[in-house]
Structure 1
Amino acid sequence: MPPTAPALDTVVYVANAGDGTIGSYRLDRSADQLIPLATTEAADNVMPLAVSPDRQYLYAAVRSDPLRVLSYRIEASSGELTPLGSGALYGSMAYIATDRAGRYLLAASYGGDLVSVSPIDANGVAGDATQTLGTGSRAHAIQTTPDNHHVLATNLGDDQLAQFYFADGALAPNEPAVAETATGSGPRHFVFSPNGRFVYVLGEFDATVTTFALDADSGTLSRVGVCQGLPEGHGLAPGMPREEIPDGDDTPRIWAADLHVTPDGRYLYLSERTGSTLSTLRANPDSGELHFVGTRPTVTQPRGFGIDPVGRYLVAAGELSDHLSLYRIEAASGKLSHVNDVATGRKTNWVEIVSFEQP
């Protein structure tokens, strides 16, 4: 009898903006390896990605004309992506996410200073955006709260998070309408603690992580504390929007990018692109307090990374790297141990990890 293929448990999807493709890889836990599966045609400048809550669909925003979101069915038996359709987006979207029920796609546009909502039909296809709402300067990330009744969105240019009511697929400003971060931090990506009590916000320009307590009833935030995400003596100047850096100014500046938390809520990781590093923070799930643990080199210009749903592995992608790097997360310490590299496409910028048998 011919040998049987290993069971397909976990698949890693990455957006290759330079190739206009989405790469897929099987995460082989027994061998600590990423194994290439397929390359799916998408469109020029494809980024970012999002996965539906039921893990049946993947969505990819296209940041070249025509601006749109592509919908794919995830084939659980093979990890293959089957194209289903597309819907119009009225801005170049830096971030997309589904709501907690998988009925709507939320998007944030950095260049357009706006957020939008698109309906997702019964076949998993995200249609044309039905609401486009102006928000603060340089919107960068957007997500619903765990109860799906409110929405938060970062405004990197205003050092704030916009707070919205969310009902029947529509956004409306909450009261108060914003929560503020420190001046000059540049809030970029954020994650909810697994217990839903806290929101951790990454500052692009200072590599700090700000902890906010989330009031579940009102959907509003109150600041708890701030933790440094880089070691003392890191040698980088404070960051600023790339489009505002004067010609000829090659000062090495902080340029933090992505943030994720382990499923047990005990560790956070952030990426910084100028130094091409990953930092580890230890979290107290009960208080939201964070402590810097350490940093390590990684792929070149790490714009995106992901943690598998079991919390054992981290996959990092670099926009100027020709490979992905796979790290094992040591449960007792949060330490990242490099175990594998695998070739990827050009300008890889986003990572989504889908486990078909989640704990």
Structure 2
Amino acid sequence: MSPHHASGKADLAVYIGNGSGGDISVLRLSGKGGTLSPIQRMRFPGVTEPGRSLPLALSPGREFLYAAMRGAPRGVATFRIDRSTGALSELGFAAMAESVAYIRTDLSGRFLFGASYDGNVVTVSPIGTNGVAQQVAQRVPTAPNAHGIMGDRSNRHVLATSLGGDVVYSFDFDQVAGTLTPPRTTALPKGTGPRHFIFDPAGKSVYLLGELDASVTVFDYDSEHGALNTKQVVTMLPVGFGGKPWGADIQITPDGRFLYASERNSSILASFAVEGDGKLRLMQHIPTETQPRGFGIDPTGRYLVAMGQSTDHATVYVIDESGGLTVTDRAIVGNSPDWVEMVELA
């Protein structure tokens, strides 16, 4: 590991999925100054009709980027990442019967999970030895509007949300066959609208964002059984918020100390301190890009990048020791940006 890597000052490649644009903005984020410079605009292969979002996922080794087209052609494209420049090259495309709103690989990088909001299913696709995602091999019906899916640290359980059913599923995952088996379910209060969720780095807690009430539910996670036990529910809304809540995304720092959530109607990021027992303490509300659907924290935990679906811009914040956010740069990206992934460059 080179000295500048060890100090966390390596530059980063930033990949932003532009929903209405049907392309991926590739930028370089300076590890020293937190500034963005454009590298590439990668059009989704063969796109004829962009979708309303462009979900992205990285392979565990960060050699491949996967993108899900919700418009046409519907399916998942695979790109190789040049780890020295960050540039993408197209490797393949696999058509899908239903559009997926969220994708994530399993820990082995051999399978790609999808959650289909429109199709009310979760999917599993094998990933070839060449890194290319293949056609869907398994579909599991869910309650309406599946919206998030992710495996746990053991790679033996996979959680998924149904926004319309107010439920979180916990599937058993056969890592050899790549199959999900019928799940346990955890019901949430009606009108929560479970959307995205994140594990803490230790895998002991799960933080779930409610799109419809802008809540964050903290669960104790039993990794042996893939079971969730509700511990705390907090709101991300600012005091005096009078509109209709519209929660979007949730992320945690790699050290597990701070958690952030975005709300689209107030255009804020809510920041929380993570206490020793996994509970959350609200710290502040940070005004950000208008309609912040997606945001991300880089793998070193130094930067947070938030996109505005209504502004076509991304803002970079440096995360300080206390979890505070300070703007370091703002750049125009693509049309209706909604997803971001980041990779350290060699």
Taking structure 1 as the reference length, the TM-score comes to 0.90
Map of 1:1-359 to 2, 5 A cutoff?
A: 9-42=11-44, 43=47, 44-45=50-51, 47-167=54-174, 168-174=177-183, 177-236=184-243, 253-284=244-275, 286-331=276-321, 333-356=322-345
Q: Is the 8 A contact 2:166 2:190 kept in 1?
A: yes
Unaligned runs of at least 5 residues, structure 2: 1-8
1:292-344 superposed Cα distances (whole Å, 9 cap, x missing partner): 1110211111110000111111000111113110011111x211111210111
3-state DSSP of counterpart to 2:242: coil
Unaligned runs of at least 5 residues, structure 1: 1-6, 237-252
Deviates more, 1:22-31 or 1:113-122: 22-31
Cα distance in structure 2, aligned partners of 1:31 and 1:8: 11
Please tell me the root mean square deviation across aligned C-alpha atoms, in Å.
Answer: 1.3
Q: Identity over aligned residues, as a percent?
A: 44
3-state DSSP of counterpart to 2:290: coil
Q: How many angstroms does 1:12 deviate by?
A: 0.6
Q: Is the 8 A contact 2:110 2:128 kept in 1?
A: yes
1:176-232 superposed Cα distances (whole Å, 9 cap, x missing partner): x20122221111000000111010000111111101111111111111111121222
1:12-58 superposed Cα distances (whole Å, 9 cap, x missing partner): 10011222110111110222201111111113226100000100000
Paired residues in the alignment total 331
Cα distance in structure 1, aligned partners of 2:205 and 2:89: 36
Q: Is the 8 A contact 1:8 1:26 kept in 2?
A: no
Runs of 4+ in 1 over 4 A off after TM superposition: none
Q: Which amino acid aligns with 1:27?
A: L
Q: How many angstroms does 1:88 deviate by?
A: 2.1
- 1:239 paired residue number: none
Deviates more, 1:42-51 or 1:7-16: 7-16
Deviates more, 1:25-34 or 1:99-108: 25-34
Q: Which amino acid aligns with 1:85?
A: G
Cα distance in structure 1, aligned partners of 2:117 and 2:306: 23
Cα distance in structure 2, aligned partners of 1:40 and 1:98: 21
Q: Is the 8 A contact 2:308 2:338 kept in 1?
A: yes
Taking structure 2 as the reference length, the TM-score comes to 0.93
Q: Is the 8 A contact 2:236 2:263 kept in 1?
A: no
Q: Which amino acid aligns with 1:274?
A: N
3-state DSSP of counterpart to 2:190: coil
Cα distance in structure 1, aligned partners of 2:180 and 2:153: 16
